[in-house]
Amino acid sequence: MATYLEFIQQNEERDGVRFSWNVWPSSRLEATRMVVPLACLLTPLKERLDLPPVQYEPVLCSRPTCKAVLNPLCQVDYRAKLWACNFCFQRNQFPPAYAGISEVNQPAELMPQFSTIEYIVQRGPQTPLIFLYVVDTCLEEEDLQALKESLQMSLSLLPPDALVGLITFGRMVQVHELSCEGISKSYVFRGTKDLTAKQIQDMLGLSRPAVPMQQGRPLQTPDQPVISSRFLQPVHKIDMNLTDLLGELQRDPWPVTQGKRPLRSTGVALSIAVGLLEGTFPNTGARIMLFTGGPPTQGPGMVVGDELKTPIRSWHDIEKDNARFMKKATKHYETLANRSAANGHCIDIYACALDQTGLLEMKCCANLTGGHMVMGDSFNTSLFKQTFQRVFSKGYNGEFRMAFGANLDVKTSRELKIAGAIGPCISLNAKGPCVSENELGIGGTSQWKICSLDPSTTLAIYFEVVNQHNAPIPQGGRGAVQFVTHYQHSSTQKRIRVTTIARNWADAQTQLQHIEAAFDQEAAAVLMARLGVYRAESEEGPDVLRWLDRQLIRLCQKFGQYNKDDPNSFRLSESFSLYPQFIFHLRRSPFLQVFNNSPDESSYYRHHFARQDLTQSLIMIQPILYAYSFHGPPEPVLLDSSSILPDRILLMDTFFQIVIYLGETIAQWQKAGYQDMPEYENFKHLLQAPLDDAQEILQTRFPMPRYIHTEHGGSQARFLLSKVNPSQTHNNLYAWGQVSNGGAAHDWECL
Amino acid sequence: MSVNQQAHTGPPYGQPQPGYQGYQQPAYGGQSLPGAPQSQYGAYNGPMPGYQQPVPPQGYFPSLGFPSKGSPVSLNSDTSSLAPNFIGSLRAPPTSGAPPPVSGASHPSGHVAYSQFEHGDVQNGIPASAAPVQRPPASQPFLPGSAPTPVSQISTFQQYGPPPASVQQLRNHMAGMTIGCTAASAPPPAGLGYASVPPVSGSFSATGSGLYTPYSASQGPPLTSVSQGLPLVQPPFPGQTISTQRLPTQVPGFTPPPPSTGVGPSSYPPTTGAPRPPAMPGPPLPGQTVAGPPSSQPNHVSSPPPPSTMAGLHPGPPMSGLHGPPPPNHPPQPGYQMQQNGSFGQMRGPQPNYGGAYPGAPNYGSPPGPPPPPKRLDPDSIPSPIQVIEDDRNNRGSEPFVTGVRGQVPPLVTTNFLVKDQGNASPRYIRCTSYNIPCTSDMAKQSQVPLAAVIKPLATLPPEETLPYLVDHGESGPVRCNRCKAYMCPFMQFIEGGRRFQCCFCSCVTEVPPHYFQHLDHTGKRVDFYDRPELSLGSYEFLATVDYCKNNKFPSPPAFIFMIDVSYNAVKSGLVRLICEELKSLLDYLPREGNMEESAIRVGFVTYNKVLHFYNVKSSLAQPQMMVVSDVADMFVPLLDGFLVNVNESRTVIASLLDQIPEMFADTRETETVFAPVIQAGLEALKAADCAGKLFIFHTSLPIAEAPGKLKNRDDRKLINTDKEKTLFQPQTSFYNNLAKDCVAQGCCVDLFLFPNQYLDVATLGVVPYQTGGSIYKYAYFQLETDQYRFLNDLRKDVQKEVGFDAVMRVRTSTGIRATDFFGAFYMSNTTDVEMAGLDCDKTITVEFKHDDKLSEDSGALLQCALLYTSCAGQRRLRIHNLSLNCCTQLADLYRNCETDTLINYLAKHAYRGVLSSPVKTVRDALINQCAQILACYRKNCASPSSAGQLILPECMKLLPVYLNCVLKSDVLQPGPEVTTDDRAYIRQLVTSMDVAETNVFFYPRLLPLTKADVDSDSLPAAIRNSEERLSKGDIYLLENGLNIFVWVGVNVQQSLIQNLFGVSSFSQISNALSTLPVLENPFSKKVRSIVDTLQGQRSRYMKLIIVKQEDKLEMLFKHFLVEDKSLSGGASYVDFLCHMHKEIRQLLS
Q: Give A260-312 pLDDT, tens digit per residue.
A: 999 999 999 999 999 999 988 888 889 999 999 999 999 999 999 999 999 99
Q: What percent of chain B has pLDDT over 70?
A: 67
Q: Give the confidence band of B812 by pLDDT, cuts at 50, 70, 90.
A: very high
Which residue does chain A place closest to B613, by CA atoms?
A187
Q: Does A673 contact B at CB distance below 8 Å?
A: no
Q: Return the bridge partners of A634, or none.
A: none
What pLDDT score does A683 carry? Answer: 92
CA–CA distance, B318 with B1129 (Å, rounded to integer): 8
Interchain proximity B630–A186, CB inside 8 Å: no
CA–CA distance, A87 with B677 (Å, rounded to integer): 64
Query: What residues of A are in contact with residue B607 (Cβ under 8 Å)?
Result: none
Interchain proximity A186–B626, CB inside 8 Å: yes
The per-residue pLDDT of chain A, averaged, comes to 88
* Cα of B1070 to nearest chain A Cα, Å: 46
Q: A512 CB contacts (<8 Å, ≥6 apart)?
A: none
Query: What residues of A are in contact with residue B626 (Cβ under 8 Å)?
Result: 183-186
Q: Does A566 contact B at CB distance below 8 Å?
A: no
* Cα of A188 to nearest chain B Cα, Å: 5
Q: Order across the sheet with A649-653: list the strands.
A: A632-636, A624-629, A649-653, A657-662, A706-711
Q: A192 CB contacts (<8 Å, ≥6 apart)?
A: A265, A268, A298, A299
Q: What does the angle CA B279 – CA B282 – CA B217 come to, to the nearest 5 degrees? A: 20
Q: Is residue B919 within 8 Å of B468, Cβ to Cβ?
A: no
Interchain proximity B611–A254, CB inside 8 Å: no
Residue A676's Cβ-count burial label (10 Å; 0-12, 13-18, 19+) is exposed
What are B651-678's pLDDT values in tens digits?
Answer: 999 999 999 999 999 999 999 999 999 9
In a 3-state reduction of DSSP, which class is residue B22? helix
What pLDDT score does A508 carry? Answer: 84
Q: Does A671 contact B at CB distance below 8 Å?
A: no
What pLDDT score does B1074 carry? Answer: 84
Interchain proximity B640–A195, CB inside 8 Å: no
Q: Which residue has the higher pLDDT, B94 or B834?
A: B834
CA–CA distance, B1125 with B210 (Å, rounded to integer): 12
Angle at which helix B187-207 crosses helix B292-302, to 10 degrees, equals 130
User: Is pLDDT of B894 > 90?
Assistant: yes
Residue A596's Cβ-count burial label (10 Å; 0-12, 13-18, 19+) is exposed
Interchain proximity B631–A205, CB inside 8 Å: no
CA distances from A57 to A49, A120, B172, B278 (A): 21, 7, 112, 96
Q: Which residue has the higher pLDDT, B127 or B957?
A: B957
Chain B residues within 8 angstroms (CB to CB) of chain A? 611, 613-614, 621-631, 634, 636, 638-642, 656-657, 660, 664
Got the DSSP string for A161-196? T-EEEEEEESSEEEEEE-S-SSSEEEEEEETT----
* E strands in B824-860: 834-840, 845-851
CA–CA distance, B1133 with B477 (Å, rounded to integer): 56
Query: What residues of B are in contact with residue A255 (Cβ under 8 Å)?
Result: 640
Give how far the C-alpha of residue A196 lies from the chain's centroid of Cα atoms, to the nearest Å: 30
Give how far the C-alpha of residue B318 lies from the chain's centroid of Cα atoms, to the nearest Å: 23
Which residue does chain B place closest to A201, by CA atoms?
B630
CB atoms within 10 A of CB A259: 9
Q: What percent of chain A has pLDDT over 90?
A: 63
Instruction: Point out the residue among A190, A204, A254 whose CB comes nearest to the CB of B634.
Output: A190
Angle at which helix B172-182 crosses helix B150-160, to 10 degrees, equals 30
Q: Is residue B229 within 8 Å of B179, Cβ to Cβ?
A: yes
A&B contacts, CB < 8 Å: 65
Q: Does A251 contact B at CB distance below 8 Å?
A: no
Query: What residues of B are in contact with residue A189 (Cβ under 8 Å)?
Result: 629, 631
**In chain A, positions 196-225, which contact chain B (CB-CB < 8 Å)?**
199, 202-205
Interchain proximity B634–A172, CB inside 8 Å: no
For an interface test with B, the pick among A137, A183, A207 (most B C-beta atoms closer than 10 Å) comes out as A183
Query: What residues of B are in contact with residue A254 (Cβ under 8 Å)?
Result: 640
Residue B998's Cβ-count burial label (10 Å; 0-12, 13-18, 19+) is buried
User: Is pLDDT of B385 > 50?
Assistant: yes
From first CA to last CA, the distance across chain A in angstroms is: 33
**Which of B219, B343, B368, B213 shows the shortest CA–CA distance to B279?**
B213
**Which of A330, A323, A318, A743 shows the shortest CA–CA distance to A541?**
A318
Interchain proximity A185–B625, CB inside 8 Å: yes
Average pLDDT on A48-74 reads 91
Q: Which amino acid type is present at position A669?
A: W
Instruction: Point out the residue among B622, B627, B634 whose CB comes nearest to the CB of A193.
Output: B634
CA–CA distance, B1108 with B1105 (Å, rounded to integer): 10
Q: What does the angle CA B177 – CA B182 – CA B185 come to, to the nearest 5 degrees? A: 85
Interchain proximity B638–A193, CB inside 8 Å: no
CA–CA distance, B558 with B873 (Å, rounded to integer): 7
CA–CA distance, B679 with B707 (Å, rounded to integer): 12
**Which of A161, A349, A355, A197 shows the shortest CA–CA distance to A280?**
A197
Interchain proximity A174–B641, CB inside 8 Å: no
What pLDDT score does B460 carry? Answer: 92
Query: What residues of B are in contact with residue A172 (Cβ under 8 Å)?
Result: 636, 638-639
Q: Is residue A394 within 8 Å of A486, Cβ to Cβ?
A: no
For an interface test with A, the pick among B614, B618, B634, B639 (most A C-beta atoms closer than 10 Å) comes out as B639
Query: What residues of B are in contact with residue A203 (Cβ under 8 Å)?
Result: 611, 630-631
* Cα of B1016 to nearest chain A Cα, Å: 56
Interchain proximity B629–A188, CB inside 8 Å: yes
Instruction: Point out the residue among B614, B630, B641 whose CB comes nearest to the CB of A253.
Output: B641
Rg (CA), chain A: 28
Longest C-alpha distance within chain B, in Å?
Answer: 93
Q: Which amino acid type is present at position B925?
A: D
Q: Is residue A337 within 8 Å of A367, Cβ to Cβ?
A: yes
What pLDDT score does A751 carry? Answer: 36
Q: Is residue A286 within 8 Å of A130, Cβ to Cβ?
A: yes
What pLDDT score does A426 carry? Answer: 94
**Which of A740, A512, A619 shows the shortest CA–CA distance to A34?**
A512
User: Is pLDDT of B942 > 50?
Assistant: yes
Interchain proximity B629–A187, CB inside 8 Å: yes
Q: Does A182 contact B at CB distance below 8 Å?
A: yes
Q: Which amino acid type is present at position B223?
A: L
What pLDDT score does B382 carry? Answer: 87
Task: State the SS3 of B670-683.
Answer: CCCCCCHHHHHHHH
**Which of B926, B996, B990 shows the shortest CA–CA distance to B432?**
B996
Q: What percent of chain B has pLDDT over 90?
A: 51
CA–CA distance, B186 with B26 (Å, rounded to integer): 8
Interchain proximity B625–A204, CB inside 8 Å: no
Q: Give the confidence band of A732 by pLDDT, cuts at 50, 70, 90.
A: low
* Cα of A96 to nearest chain B Cα, Å: 54
Interchain proximity B630–A202, CB inside 8 Å: yes
What pLDDT score does A397 carry? Answer: 79
What pLDDT score does A254 carry? Answer: 87
What are B898-935's pLDDT values in tens digits?
Answer: 999 999 999 999 999 999 999 999 999 999 999 999 99
What pLDDT score does A208 carry? Answer: 59
Give me the interface pTM, i.e. the ipTM: 0.85
* Cα of B756 to nearest chain A Cα, Å: 24
**Which of B286, B289, B277 shows the shortest CA–CA distance to B337?**
B277
**Which of B197, B234, B194 shows the shortest CA–CA distance to B365?**
B197
Q: B931 CB contacts (<8 Å, ≥6 apart)?
A: B907, B960, B961, B964, B1141
What pLDDT score does B376 carry? Answer: 58
Query: What residues of A are in contact with residue B613 (Cβ under 8 Å)?
Result: 185
Query: What residues of A are in contact with residue B623 (Cβ under 8 Å)?
Result: 182-184
Q: Is residue B248 within 8 Å of B282, Cβ to Cβ?
A: yes
In a 3-state reduction of DSSP, which class is residue B874? coil
Among B97-111, B283-297, B372-386, B949-963, name the most confident range.
B949-963
Interchain proximity B626–A184, CB inside 8 Å: yes
Longest C-alpha distance within chain A, in Å?
Answer: 88
Q: Which amino acid type is present at position B998?
A: E
Q: Give the confidence band of A228 by pLDDT, cuts at 50, 70, 90.
A: low
Q: Which residue has the higher pLDDT, A496 or B218?
A: A496
Q: Order across the sheet with B500-502: list the strands.
A: B493-495, B500-502, B509-511
User: Is pLDDT of B251 > 50?
Assistant: no
Query: What residues of B are in contact with residue A186 (Cβ under 8 Å)?
Result: 625-628
CA–CA distance, A293 with A251 (Å, rounded to integer): 12
Query: What residues of A are in contact with residue B622 (Cβ under 8 Å)?
Result: 248
CA distances from B388 to A484, B103, B144, B1042 (A): 103, 16, 8, 20
Average pLDDT on B269-286 reads 36
Interchain proximity B628–A253, CB inside 8 Å: no
Q: Does A189 contact B at CB distance below 8 Å?
A: yes
Q: What does the angle CA A4 – CA A8 – CA A14 come to, to the nearest 5 degrees? A: 140
User: Is pLDDT of A551 > 90?
Assistant: yes
* Cα of B433 to nearest chain A Cα, Å: 53
Interchain proximity B641–A205, CB inside 8 Å: no
CA–CA distance, A89 with A76 (Å, rounded to integer): 12
CA–CA distance, B546 with B543 (Å, rounded to integer): 10
Q: Give the confidence band of B354 by pLDDT, cuts at 50, 70, 90.
A: very low
Average pLDDT on A83-110 reads 90
Mean pLDDT lowest among A247-256, A405-414, B121-130, B739-748: B121-130
Q: Give the confidence band of B944 by pLDDT, cuts at 50, 70, 90.
A: confident
Q: Is residue B29 within 8 Å of B21, Cβ to Cβ?
A: no
What pLDDT score does A584 carry? Answer: 92
What pLDDT score does B717 carry? Answer: 84
Query: What residues of A are in contact with residue B638 (Cβ under 8 Å)?
Result: 172, 174, 188
CB atoms within 10 A of CB B788: 20
Which residue does chain A place closest to B641, by CA atoms?
A253
Instruction: Point out the residue among A188, A190, A199 whose CB comes nearest to the CB of B627.
Output: A188
